[in-house]
Structure 1
Amino acid sequence: MMFQSTSFLASLGTSIGSTLLIAAAFCLLRPYNTVVYAPRARYADQKHAPPPVGKGVFDWVKPVITTKEQQLVEKVGLDAALFIRFTKMCRNIFLVLTVIGCGVIIPINIVAGHGMYSNYSDVSTFMKMTPNYMYGSRAFWAFVVCAYVFDIVICFFLWHNYRAVVRLRRAYFESPEYQASLHARTLLLTDIPKGMRTDEGIVKLTNDVKDPGEVPRAAIARNVKDLPDLVEEHEKAVQDLESVLAKYLKNPNNLPSKRPTHKVEKSDHSYKKGQKVDAIEYLTARIRELELEIKEVRESVDKRNALPYGFASYESISDAHVVAYAARKKSPQGTIMRLAPKPHDLIWKNLPMGKKQRRWQRFINNLWVTALTIVYIVPNVLTAVFLSNLSHLGQVWPAFETQLKTNPTWWAIVQGVLAPAITSAFYYFLPAIFRRLSMKAGDTTKTSRERHVMHKMYSFFIFNNLIVFSLFAAIWGFITAVIGASKGESTWDAIKDGDIYNKIVTTMITVSPYWISWLLQRNLGAAVDLSQFVNLAWGSFSRKFLSPTPRELIKLSAPQPFDYAGYYNYFLFYSTVAMCFATLQPLILAVTFVYFWLDSYLKKYLLLYVFITKTESGGQFWRVLFNRFIFLAFLGNVVIALLVTAQGSSWAMLYALAPLPFLLLAFKWYCAQAFDNKCSYYTTGRGIADAELAIPDGKKHKRGDRVGVRFGHPVLYKPLITPMVHAKSQHLLRSIYAGRTSLDEDNASVAGYSDVYMDTMSHSRPGKRAGGGASAAPFEIVTEGQMDFEHYMNRPEFRDELGGGGELYGRPEDLIRPGTPGSFMTQEGTVRSESRGRSGSGSDSRSSSRTRVGEGPGTMYPTGYHKAPGLREQSPAESVRSVAMGSVRGRNLGGDDYQHLLHGAARMGRSPVPAPTPGAGYGGPGGYAPVRLGLPEGLGDGHILTPENVGAGDGYTPGTDTEEDTSYDYFRRGRQAR
């Protein structure tokens, strides 16, 4: 028993010492390495920027403590705020349980054990805290009472936080970002039958569920054929070429004597299978071929081959949510109807799956998870039987038994440190393994996939790392006890006299030090997370010993996504372990409380300054967390029932525990009825006055939102990536490369979605079309100073993976922004012009002589103003932003800067000519020259349009010989820098 105490003390000393050392290193390194310790603060816009932190050693502590929950919601989003709230809830629960466990259960164990065990003075203090020596005592009634108290404490905190989550969700629904987003008032329909796969069919299906009095704007999905695979192959080929060139051109002044080779792809039938060819030439040709194939497939996509999913967008959020609520129990013709997520949250390749295919994919995924679970049983059993208690190994290995008795202190340290470390090392890779398994499980959104990953990991941990671990440890303890007892009697008699229930409980008590040691090492893990040791070490190692590409270096400087599924699973598992061993070794409650107390601050710093939320779900993790906490409370009751059955004085103790599972289920049912609908729906159409929740008339969304474009498959419009090469090797490219990779040249119109494409624009001359393929630069040259995420955070290939959908930088993808006439932000960060009055059906137009465009009041355009026939791949706003980002580091032109994109632009139609701005010239603020337009009769070329030669209301409409006089390009092209 002294061996167990020494093991615990060794683990405690190692954990505290290492944690303090790592924390001190973080405090010293943080002020001088913002790329690692504050990347989020470097790139966030003003609204999402965290509180400023000084250069002092402990200056980071104050903002972490003083930042309140509402500020967290505004700065880092609801998912991050909910994570911190959940961490604090766990901290508060285990604080109360620690007081009860250490203040009530431990004294009862000590007093009752002293009266029941004759040699109690020889027992170690660590084991006196357990109920191991109070067999048959009536004091076990205190454990029955504690079971009820524990459940009451857990349910109280769950209820209290459920109400808080409802308030956060309601505030989220009322937030300006949600109110202005397209997904908030859009429905996603899947499993649409063949006969209804049209826009009109979607409208009919929604009306069959509930008719809110408004016809939604519908868009059926179209078959993108093999475009996703082609785009994926193209990205892989570009990245392979970048990697090859980075290694080959690592030292431009001393190139290797042999050019690199590459094995041909399996899908490439132009070469023999497995043949090796010149890597640069092969990848160059493959990129060119894939680009041409992608262009051909994009041009062939149309609506004739519709897919079994689509979208329906309403003018008001209330209508969309009322229909979604009504569709919970209705499935017209087998169609599943739910609220649409954000576009970048969708897993596009899973949307066309039918119910049978989705069930099959989930079945295959469950088979893989089951196989992983079974395979892990073997190393888990070895850890449970031998590493968690080295004395078991000594019983089957006499030579080791001798060593164990010779050096007990040394082996106690090994048991307290090595065994938990091996377990933790395997846990580090589990989230990635489960996420990879869940990629093809049929989930339609990334956030739902993350919740399923968390669910599967938690089930795996509970089965393998708790039940199997504890069960096999107990069975081995029973076997060794039987072997020891059978020396004087038959084996069967020894088994009959073994009292298996008591042996299981006794073995679980002896295993408890292992779990305490493991939780202590998790405190060390929290400090390692704060230090960002892995990212810091990997970044330094890759720069020094590897040949990272410019793209990889840019990604290294970006804020990394926070692994909610992994951390939630760890927190739930820690809580489950603590509840299962709370009465067997109450000291585990104190260790768990210390962990959550420490992590509630450390994770808060990481979410404020280091990590981002890759896909914001709006707090949808809560229901999964709530259900798991109910389960772990039930599991704790089962252990108490096992304890009183094995060592209690009467069966009445077990009967008294019987109502607890039913009370927990009743509490779960109450919370579901009282809170779930308020968390899930903006309004259900009953009990809530829709007039109070409806958007004011002046801010109603128009039907020109183009739901088919916003929720169109990204492969239809997402620009193809260009190979990046370091500027130091630029002079060698012409001699080693003979291809082109200019993006999507001459993509004018594809299957009626011409607003998706834009012509390539010259970066040096904003507003002008870039040169053709032969003259276009084949590479994107990146200088040393540009290898920073700051220069590329609005590029689709970087923003989609590391930008949180653009929200962190003030550019959410489906935000419908007021103040910019007839324009909206697209997924690739460009600004598109549209007529909100005439882009849809004829019913969309207004009967008044002037049409309000956009959301903001006061933005008026003449009737008949419509979209430009030719659009570009990159807008002037994006080009100006690229130049600004290259010259002015840290400036973010999001938010209000984009709202004034057309400030001072040419007048429209019959609108009056504005008066000159005093002191700024006729061109208006910003240093622009006078606007040159097509002039009325009598004025030659080169004349300047001024209030003197064109009066207000003269009926003049600008125009040229080459482009439509109301086009978006026309009104932007006249602005020339002085």
Structure 2
Amino acid sequence: MNISALLTSAGINIAVCVVLLFLYSILRKQPSNFSLYFGRKLAKVNPTRDHHVRLQRFVPSPSWIVKAWEISEAEILATAGVDAVVFLRIVVFSLRIFAVAAFVGIFLVLPVNYYGQEIHHHKHIPRESLEVFSIGNVKQGSKWFWAHCLALYITSLTACLLLYFEYKSIAAMRLEHIRTSPPNPGHFSVLVRAIPWKPDESYSDTVKKFFTKYHGSSYLGHQMVYHRGTIQKLMAETEKVCKMLRSNNVGHGKNMVQSALPAGPSGTLRILSSEPESIKRKPPFPDVRTASSVKEVAAAFVFFKTRYAADVAAKVLLSANPMSWVTNYAPEPHDVYWRNLSIRYRLLWLRKIASLVAVIVFMFLFLIPVTFVQGLTQLDQLHHTFPFLRGLFKKKYMSQLVTGYLPSVILLLFLYAVPPTMMLLAVIEGCISRTGKKKSACRKVLYFLIWNVFFVNVLSGSVISQIDALSSLKEMPTQLARAIPTQATFFMTYVLTSGWASLSSELMQPMLLIWNVFRRGVLRQKDDLCAVSFPYHTEVPKLLLFGFIGFTFSVLAPLILPLLLVYFFLGYLVYRNQILNVYITKYESGGQLWPTVHNTTVFSLVFMQIISLFVFGLKQSKTAWVFMIPLVIFTLLFNEYCRQRFHPIFKNTPAELLIEMDQEDEKSEKIEAFHQNLELAYCQITLKSPDPQKSADLSHPIPSDKDLEDSTASNPPALAQQNPTEN
């Protein structure tokens, strides 16, 4: 591929980005789209409709860019929580490190690559092949490889320094978040599974006897987990009642509750209560006949008087049999993934193995579209395989389109199926929380992208032209060293297509926009606020993949670095806008994704250094080869230090912090009332009275664009009252 083909791809993607950004700045002003582009703010703003048709609604404006740029990190922390701040820290870290790498690469490495051999260069730069800008253009044994070594040292040491300060800052932020957060049911609760079955007593009695005997001084109570089938019926019937209550005034609410809920032994749900206060004081199944029809499972949430007692119970081995009385930290109430709590603990290891096998099979099945995509980048091979296409490919614009744009677009379309598949496999794996499910899916998507998007593309692209090169696994590092610099052109177009254009698509939300138009125009349905949580399992792997690509090619083909800088800068604006306006914070993990980010970044650094080692070996530069070994050792030692220094903070909460918080609770008079409501927090089915201010749908007046822009973001939405649907 030459420069003109890359410019063609860049021009297409720039045009797509500009069009989508203009459309977004107009569509976000239309009242019919407020539920789509301002979901988080509508969850807490008292709506008022602007009936006037104003010209400014149809004029593009950069107001969203200014708002996203001006918002401070403290405001984002108060609005969206620690996880959102940590995600944006990934973008900021990438901007900083690749700004340094781009400066070094463009002004130091790129001239060395371009003039690495005494060859005749084209007078017109667009006609130059992109390979002359890569390390492959440097002749063997060149004395100029010191420039590449220096660039590697500068990039690696800067990355390690930034990683250290980020890890330290985020660890402190996590501890401060725990210290300043109000009493949370998850801090006083432990999830117990694999409860032994005794024929003469129920699971509930077994739990009560066990913890009264061994944790009597701190044991407060427990809440059993019930079979999902029964609970699903209860939730479905409750949802029907809530919908009926929304469509009528509050004054008839009590009578509707009593008339809508089934009664008697055959009904799945008796009348809980017609008064909200009585609901708060009663267990989830107050009626004996109803309770007898609900099947308990061998799992329960056990509550303790102090955070420290719950922490100790979650860490220690409760029984001589490690397969019984298994404890975990209890997720926050809104974070619990109830479906998987009914899974037998003894089957979890089988589910994890099945999930792993399914991921491997899916990764190998994905080789088919990847090989096809790489075939499009090999124009000579296409001429040989499909002779009837030669006439078509003789046209300059067609060859540039096929080699420079089409492969990355096709790969991007296939990749849309990956996150939902990995999320399904995370559910099969048996995750007990929604954050755990997203973390598991995030890791699976990350491994999948690094393997299929990078390694398979590199190897398949090389195998197409060098089928006999892979004689054994011993040749794999050498083959990678030969193939990676030659595949830099594909990844440049991939950054343009999957990076720039996908960020514009994230702003537009095209699928939701189409559904919104269809629902309102064809189905004639009213707006229904449905704010979703941030898709960390798709966006974090995407950022880390681009970071991995950037580190790998930082000295091999530094021309990719400016493209990555544009991507991360655009992502900085887009993601801040989405976090402020669109996505709602439903649950908080306290920044637990950062260790995955840190480990992936260190892996990227080590991989960059090792590939450079093999490239230097192929180029017969022994001095550069020896000079790189201390850098690899230093990076590994740095990672081990961070693992010992910071990682335990993300796995456990310090005991001294928990004890200090417990001591502060002893001075508070509200802690006893909090203890009384612990059981209610982990009910699988609850019934709340409707609140006209909270449950007002969007058929009521909706705010103007100015109202939404000016609304403060200092208070997060009332999650327990809004109860938005899960993304």
Name the TM-score, length of structure 2 as normaliser.
0.79
Query: Match of 1:42?
Result: 42
Structure 2 gap segments, 5+ residues each:
47-55, 245-260, 271-284, 704-714
Query: Match of 1:61?
Result: 65
Query: Match of 2:465?
Result: 477
Amino acid at match of 1:672: R
Name the TM-score, length of structure 1 as normaliser.
0.60
Give the drift of 1:591.
1.0
| Change in CA separation of 1:224 and 1:131 when aligned onto 2, cut-off 3 Å | closer
Matched, 1:569 2:541: yes
Give the drift of 1:199.
2.0
Amino acid at match of 2:90: F
| Change in CA separation of 1:231 and 1:664 when aligned onto 2, cut-off 3 Å | farther
| Change in CA separation of 1:659 and 1:693 when aligned onto 2, cut-off 3 Å | farther
Kept in 2, the 8 Å contact 1:98–1:590? The answer is yes
Q: Following superposition of structure 1 onto structure 2, how do residues 26-425 of structure 1 map, counting pairs within 5 Å?
A: 26-33=24-31, 34-44=34-44, 57-114=61-118, 118-119=119-120, 124=128, 126-136=130-140, 137-175=142-180, 178-194=181-197, 197-204=206-213, 214-219=217-222, 221-224=224-227, 226-231=229-234, 292-295=266-269, 299-301=289-291, 307-321=297-311, 324=314, 334-384=324-374, 386-404=375-393, 406-425=394-413
Structure 1 CA distance for aligned equivalents of residues 342 and 459 of structure 2: 44
Amino acid at match of 2:672: K
Kept in 2, the 8 Å contact 1:129–1:585? The answer is yes
Matched, 1:14 2:12: yes
Amino acid at match of 1:642: F
SS of the equivalent of 2:462 reads helix
Percent identity at matched positions?
17
Give the drift of 1:527.
1.6
Structure 1 CA distance for aligned equivalents of residues 376 and 267 of structure 2: 57
Query: Match of 1:438?
Result: 426
Kept in 1, the 8 Å contact 2:97–2:155? The answer is no
Kept in 2, the 8 Å contact 1:321–1:683? The answer is no
Give the drift of 1:628.
1.7
| Change in CA separation of 1:452 and 1:17 when aligned onto 2, cut-off 3 Å | same
Structure 2 CA distance for aligned equivalents of residues 225 and 21 of structure 1: 47
Structure 2 CA distance for aligned equivalents of residues 80 and 607 of structure 1: 7
Kept in 1, the 8 Å contact 2:95–2:569? The answer is yes
Q: Following superposition of structure 1 onto structure 2, how do residues 800-815 of structure 1 map, counting pairs within 5 Å?
A: 808-810=716-718, 812=720
SS of the equivalent of 1:695 reads helix
SS of the equivalent of 1:312 reads strand
Give the drift of 1:530.
1.5
Amino acid at match of 2:457: F
Query: Match of 2:516?
Result: 539
Give the drift of 1:333.
7.2
Structure 2 CA distance for aligned equivalents of residues 500 and 172 of structure 1: 46
| Change in CA separation of 1:314 and 1:713 when aligned onto 2, cut-off 3 Å | closer
| Change in CA separation of 1:85 and 1:224 when aligned onto 2, cut-off 3 Å | same
Kept in 1, the 8 Å contact 2:423–2:441? The answer is yes
Amino acid at match of 2:675: D
CA deviation vs aligned residue, 1:681-717 (integer Å, no higher than 9, x gap)? 44324xx694587315331612762466235441xx3
Query: Match of 1:671?
Result: 642
Kept in 1, the 8 Å contact 2:177–2:590? The answer is yes
CA deviation vs aligned residue, 1:772-827 (integer Å, no higher than 9, x gap)? xxxxxxxxx999935989xxxxxxxxxxxxxxxxx9433547xxxxxxxxxxxx99
| Change in CA separation of 1:639 and 1:295 when aligned onto 2, cut-off 3 Å | same
Kept in 1, the 8 Å contact 2:187–2:330? The answer is yes
Kept in 2, the 8 Å contact 1:634–1:664? The answer is yes
CA deviation vs aligned residue, 1:641-696 (integer Å, no higher than 9, x gap)? 2322222333x5445444555433322222222223444544324xx694587315
Structure 2 CA distance for aligned equivalents of residues 218 and 653 of structure 1: 65
Query: Match of 1:709?
Result: 679
Give the drift of 1:151.
2.4
| Change in CA separation of 1:783 and 1:371 when aligned onto 2, cut-off 3 Å | closer
Give the drift of 1:451.
0.5
Bigger share in helix: 2
| Change in CA separation of 1:443 and 1:119 when aligned onto 2, cut-off 3 Å | same
Query: Match of 1:509?
Result: 485
| Change in CA separation of 1:394 and 1:69 when aligned onto 2, cut-off 3 Å | same
Kept in 2, the 8 Å contact 1:560–1:611? The answer is yes
Task: Report which structure shows greater RCO (CA 8 Å, sep ≥6).
Answer: 2
> How many residues of Structure 1 are paired with residues of Structure 2 in the alignment?
654
Structure 1 CA distance for aligned equivalents of residues 415 and 35 of structure 2: 27
Give the drift of 1:340.
1.8
Matched, 1:698 2:667: yes
Structure 1 CA distance for aligned equivalents of residues 718 and 10 of structure 2: 45
Amino acid at match of 2:644: Q
Matched, 1:718 2:686: yes
CA deviation vs aligned residue, 1:475-501 (integer Å, no higher than 9, x gap)? 222249x9xxxxxxxxx9xx99xx998
Give the drift of 1:565.
0.8
Structure 1 CA distance for aligned equivalents of residues 518 and 37 of structure 2: 17
Query: Match of 1:785?
Result: 699
Give the drift of 1:578.
1.9
Give the drift of 1:526.
0.8
Amino acid at match of 1:294: T
Give the drift of 1:323.
5.3
Amino acid at match of 2:425: L
Query: Match of 2:443?
Result: 455
Matched, 1:610 2:579: no
Matched, 1:518 2:527: no
Kept in 2, the 8 Å contact 1:105–1:586? The answer is yes
| Change in CA separation of 1:390 and 1:74 when aligned onto 2, cut-off 3 Å | same
Structure 1 CA distance for aligned equivalents of residues 212 and 632 of structure 2: 45
Give the drift of 1:444.
1.0
CA deviation vs aligned residue, 1:18-48 (integer Å, no higher than 9, x gap)? 21222222223333343332232222269xx
Kept in 1, the 8 Å contact 2:303–2:678? The answer is no
Give the drift of 1:419.
1.4
| Change in CA separation of 1:520 and 1:99 when aligned onto 2, cut-off 3 Å | same
Give the drift of 1:359.
0.7
Amino acid at match of 1:421: V
CA RMSD of aligned residues (A): 4.1
Structure 1 CA distance for aligned equivalents of residues 318 and 147 of structure 2: 45
Q: Following superposition of structure 1 onto structure 2, how do residues 460-859 of structure 1 map, counting pairs within 5 Å?
A: 460-479=448-467, 505-521=481-497, 522-545=499-522, 547=523, 553-554=527-528, 557-650=529-622, 653-685=624-656, 690-691=659-660, 694-699=663-668, 701-702=671-672, 705-706=675-676, 709-714=679-684, 717-719=685-687, 785=699, 808-810=716-718, 812=720
Structure 1 CA distance for aligned equivalents of residues 235 and 388 of structure 2: 57
| Change in CA separation of 1:113 and 1:666 when aligned onto 2, cut-off 3 Å | same
| Change in CA separation of 1:371 and 1:783 when aligned onto 2, cut-off 3 Å | closer
Matched, 1:427 2:431: no
